[in-house]
Structure 1
């Protein structure tokens, strides 16, 4: 047993489940680790405390790990991720007023993101003609999957996210109140906050992120590269503990127990019933009780979700390039892909792993050509709305 506790930061979201369950059910202890979980409210807090060494590891937005390694938006601290804490799990939630406006303009299936993105375009144009303020969308961080997923969806329908709407940063726990107060018209966030908005009658879930991308790396178990290199046995033990926790979470007979664990005030602090719906991928999407089910809503361990995939890192880097956050270069792409470390995952488990084959390009975006990580410039050239650095 390691006497000195490993401090691990997290945000109250369901994709922190493997972290929480690893500690609560004793999987970290079984690996000889003494882990102290520290709940935080914002991603900047988590990033900063990880970067300066107050945390040994953290539940972290996958793009933040890449941005930190590239020195984008903050100090440059190389990060590695030996385990994916979640694939998918986000949703886009809109106010009742915006939902009504979108449905009145909809031409097609409301679960089709192209149809809703084109409806959004018509709503945006109508508001501009009427002299109304631009719509405001909340997302969790500039370097976040939420930011890129919102932008990808909007742009596919002809809405320029930098010209036609406002995107603002809000910590996940503050999203619902901001929607209820009219500070934002919509948001993209991870579970359970979309469901909380629906249950309170202040929001409609418009899309699961799996409508937009079949497979999207969301959060990672992040560590400073320098610390990981000095502590390879601890990294391996942490990784194994999370693999065990993920397997426990994915077993349907454990779901009620897991929901109760996550519901504790010092973990996520919302009702077990909401958390159970999230884990089962069966969500209430409207205040009237309409339900929607998806086997891809949130993948914690199944379908190879835990093993980091450098193609996912390349896609996130491509979004940073598309929206002017990063310059395009082979060196930066290599650094970005090097954040996701399947070799550390494989070494911890004593296996030779492989990438999932259920999604041919490993991303499965609803619009644009298949993703080619070897030619990001050509991939981005296929899109009409791009704001690359000149």
Structure 2
């Protein structure tokens, strides 16, 4: 029985977000009141860090959030924090993240040094920040460093700081680089503290990034509300497909309540990814729904990386975990009601080191890596 036309059990939702350009769907949904036609209202709740997003999701202070894909899985698995059953309702965007190195390191790479040579030339362990221990930025950074022959846990001091503090830390000399979302790479570059040396779409082209996350009991108790929220976010993501709309939301995102960063530093990398750099694939929010389906194989990939880096050794069925977290049935109901096509369950992705992941032979994929913790 299809229940997508049923009234939401909850009509006012508090949504958490961190000050990043890819929070755009939440901003669009709230500012344009897109939830009205689905029976909900949205209150945006800016959070200072991903740890704050985690804690307020678990305490119920926020109902759902714009969240790192890997944050959801870290909480589900109890890695580096409290464990709770979590839900990924949909993917909010693909691509749109980057790695910035300090100017001396970026200059060395530009001059022909390999990433490994440039980092070793410091004569000490480089300090490179990411935003959450199990988050997407940590996994992109680790994968990129390993692909360049640098062990991300032994050769580098990897630290966690909120994305809003990245540029300041680079300016102060506390960091040698960082992996995070925009607009903080644009900010660091504008302040002449560093330069973007890689885009995460070079690591995994069209990788999943932020998701719409909630506790699993919220989705179970309020399924109509969850579907209404997915419908609302799909509308917001579709609106963002137009270039003029991205320019419009970039201006709105500059407000102190959202990002608090000048539009001139938000718009270029939101409208034309990488500020026009040909290496960067565009940040994608919708593409007729191809972006948004919460593929189980995408979530499963994060678990392979936790095992790769010694963060997880539990004897559990990783595929079953991913299938329980990613709410594919709920998403299908919402997408069906909106007339949005459902893409295939698997997609093959070729990474920067030539390895291919399609969610099939996870054990064989993991066994192919020769760098472990």
Q: TM-score, normalised by structure 1?
A: 0.88
1:174 matched to 2:159? The reply is no
Query: Alignment partner of 2:152: what SS?
Result: coil
- Residue 360 (structure 2) pairs with residue 386 (structure 1): no
Question: C-alpha root-mean-square deviation of aligned residues, in Å?
Answer: 2.0
Match of 2:285 among 273, 288, 300: 300
Alpha-carbon separation, structure 1, partners of 2:318 and 2:274: 38
State the shift of 1:159 in Å: 0.9
- Residues 294 and 302 of structure 1: is their aligned pair in 2 closer, same or farther, counting only changes over 3 Å? farther
Call closer, same or farther: CA 1:33–1:327 in 2, change over 3 Å: same
Give 1:222 shift: 0.5
What runs of 5+ residues in structure 2 fail to find an aligned partner? 1-7
Q: Paired residues, what number?
A: 362
Contact 1:380 1:386 in 2 (8 A): no
Show CA shifts across 1:220-269 (max 9, x none).
11111111111111111100100001111111232222112211110111
Q: CA deviation digits over 1:30-70, x for unaligned, max 9?
A: 21112211101111111011011111111111111112122
The residue matched to 1:306 in structure 2 has which SS?
coil
Q: Is the 8 A contact 1:368 1:383 kept in 2?
A: no
Question: 1:123 corresponds to which residue?
Answer: 118
Which of the residues 244, 269, 283 maps onto 1:253?
244
Residues 202, 280 of structure 2: 8 Å contact kept: no
**Equivalent in the alignment of 2:262:** 271
Distance 1:52 1:282, change over 3 A: closer
Please report how far the alpha carbon of residue 319 of structure 1 lies from its aligned counterpart in structure 2 after TM superposition: 0.7
Q: Rate the CA distance shift 1:342–1:278 in 2: closer, same or farther, 3 A.
A: farther
8 Å CA contact 2:139–2:305 kept in 1: the answer is yes
Give the conservation status (yes or no) of the 8 Å contact 1:63–1:316: yes
Q: Which moved more, 1:2-11 or 1:188-197?
A: 2-11
Matched, 1:353 2:342: yes
Q: Does the 8 Å CA contact 1:70/1:336 hold for their aligned counterparts?
A: no
Runs (4+) off by over 6 Å = none
Q: Which residue of 1 aligns with 2:351?
A: 365
Match of residue 155 from structure 2 = 164
Match of 2:5 in 1: none
Which residue does the alignment assign to 1:101? 108
Q: 2:44 aligns with which of 37, 49, 53?
A: 37
* 1:27 partner SS: coil
CA deviation map 1:265-303 (0-9, x unaligned): 10111122222212222434xxxxxx5146723111126
Structure 1 Cα separation of the partners of residues 278 and 355 of structure 2: 27
Structure-2 change in CA distance of 1:79 and 1:20 (3 Å): same
Question: How far is the alpha carbon of 1:369 from its aligned partner?
Answer: 2.6
Taking a change above 3 Å as real, the CA distance of residues 17 and 356 of structure 1, as seen in their structure-2 partners, is: farther
SS class of match (1:82): strand
State the distance in 1 between where 2:203 and 2:96 align.
12
SS at 1:266's partner residue?
A: coil
Alpha-carbon separation, structure 2, partners of 1:180 and 1:355: 44
